[in-house]
Amino acid sequence: MKKKNNLLRRLTGMCFLLCMTVSAGQVTAQEYSPGPNFGVKAGVNFSQLYVNQPNVTDQDTKVGYHIGVFGKIPVNDFLAVQPEVLYSNVGAQITYGGSDLASVLGIAEGKVRFNLNYVQIPIAVVANLGPFNVHAGPYLSYLVGANVKNLKTADLNANQIADLDTDSFNRLDYGLLGGIGVNVDAFTVGARYNYGLRPVGDGGLAGSLTNNSKNGVFQLYVGFGL
């Protein structure tokens, strides 16, 4: 877990340094730089479920992606509301050690990769600080697909894992988001963290494997105004 937290801290630092570097190259006297009002955006996801149960021996961050559109509605010269519609691929790769889990569910040690695909609607309040922006708000997601893969079939019961599909997980997910960005003409780049508030698993095997864990997703993105 410490290794994963260090990775997220390094990624956040790299993105902040990138934003600072790009901003430093922009010579402007503007105090208000709202960036594009409508556009497309895409980026990379670094997601984790942070499953907290004694059977878990290792957890690896899943690298996914997100793509979609955004709009920006100015409130005044400082604030704006930014709704988005995104397709987002998240999940995690979890290694289980057996013991208690094996006795309850009849499975031994193994590794499982969770691939969860959502249509996500974030609604962020954006504070513009020169070329920079700070944004935060809620999000609502709907699960449109789930692909759970058994990566160690010799040990983990492949038949049970194969039975896990979209109906094994909660369709609705919601949570909070926060991030930073920088606007460069028609472009916007930045970093964001999504903190899920609803358990991913919908009871049964999915609920036992994820142990009521919630989505945690760090995002790097680039947007282009249309």
Which parts of the chain sit beneath pLDDT 70? 1-33, 98-109, 151-160, 162-163
pLDDT tens digit sequence for 111-154? 889 999 999 999 999 999 888 999 999 999 999 999 888 766 54
CATH of the domain at 126: 2.40.160.20
pLDDT in tens, 149-164: 876 654 455 556 766 8
Q: What was the pLDDT predicted at 158?
A: 56
pLDDT of residue 211: 85
Q: How many structural domains comprise the chain?
A: 1
Residue with tokens 């709202």: 34
pLDDT at residue 205, rounded to an integer: 81
Phi-psi region of 211 (alpha: psi -120 to 50; beta: other; left: phi over 0): left
Could you tell me if 190 and 180 are in contact, meaning their C-beta atoms sit under 8 angstroms apart?
yes
Q: Which domain holds residue 72?
A: 2-24+33-225
Long-range contacts: 206-213, Cβ < 8 Å, 24+? 206/148, 206/164, 206/168, 206/169, 208/101, 208/104, 208/105, 209/51, 209/94, 209/96, 209/101, 209/112, 210/49, 210/51, 210/114, 211/51, 211/52, 211/53, 213/49, 213/50, 213/51, 213/52
Instruction: Copy the structure tokens of residue 96.
Output: 């289980």
pTM (2 d.p.): 0.80
Q: Measured between alpha carbons, how far is 45 from 64 in angstroms, rounded to an integer?
A: 5
Specify whether the CB–CB gap between 91 and 64 falls below 8 A: yes
What does the pLDDT read at residue 108?
Answer: 55
- Contact between 172 and 142 under an 8 Å Cβ cutoff? The reply is yes
